[in-house]
Amino acid sequence: MEYLDNAHDQLKRLDHSVYVSLKYTRTVDVLRSILNRMVDTITPLLDTLLAKAKADKKVEDIPTNIPLKCKKIREVYADNERIEELTEMLDFLMFIRKVRRAEDYDKINEYRRHVALITEIDGEEVEINLDVIHEYYDKTKGYLLLVDEIVFGKKDDD
């Protein structure tokens, strides 16, 4: 599936941003760029799930915007054994979108190890620092594996 290939390509770019760009340029702009790459990595996963649902004749058309895609996935995959993980992925995606769209944010410790973006999302203060970005990166990789398993089944370790 081309959507899944696109997600893998975006993950490579995300990997570079996290392990190279962020290492040498510790700025909030790089953190925001990484959040954008995370959205760009997860969005094709939604398309992959919806394309599979369309191929299985569970859905007629694929919505064009992300919130509608998330809603459709929640409906179509409601009986899937991995629905909790899918729901977590969808919630994570919507959260990341809110953070990256936040126009009112503070920058602290730029050019240092403890660089952080601080903003308020839904009335709660959110701090995105290097440790959080690495945690989010690991989640994003896990979501790619999750969708891969849902679409193609479990991989056997030979």
67-84, pLDDT tens digit by residue?
999 999 999 999 999 999
What is the pLDDT confidence band of residue 156, given thresholds at 50, 70 and 90? Answer: low
Residue 112 covered by a domain: no
Residue 125 covered by a domain: no
Length of the chain: 158
When the pLDDT of each residue in the chain is averaged and rounded to a whole number, the result is 94
Residue 42 covered by a domain: yes
Residue 156 covered by a domain: no
What is the pLDDT confidence band of residue 53, given thresholds at 50, 70 and 90? Answer: very high
Number of domains in the chain: 1
User: Could you tell me the pTM of the whole model?
Assistant: 0.92
For range 33-37, the mean pLDDT: 97
Tokens of 17: 């941003």
Residue 124 covered by a domain: no
| CA–CA distances in Å: residue 103 to residues 42, 69, 108, 120, 129 | 22, 25, 16, 10, 17
Residues 6+ apart with CB under 8 A from 154: none
Query: Which pLDDT value is given to residue 158?
Result: 42
Residue 87 covered by a domain: yes
List the domain range (segments joined by +) for residue 51.
2-100+131-149
Residue 31 covered by a domain: yes
- Condensed to tens digits (0 to 9), the pLDDT of residues 55-71 reads 999 999 999 999 999 99
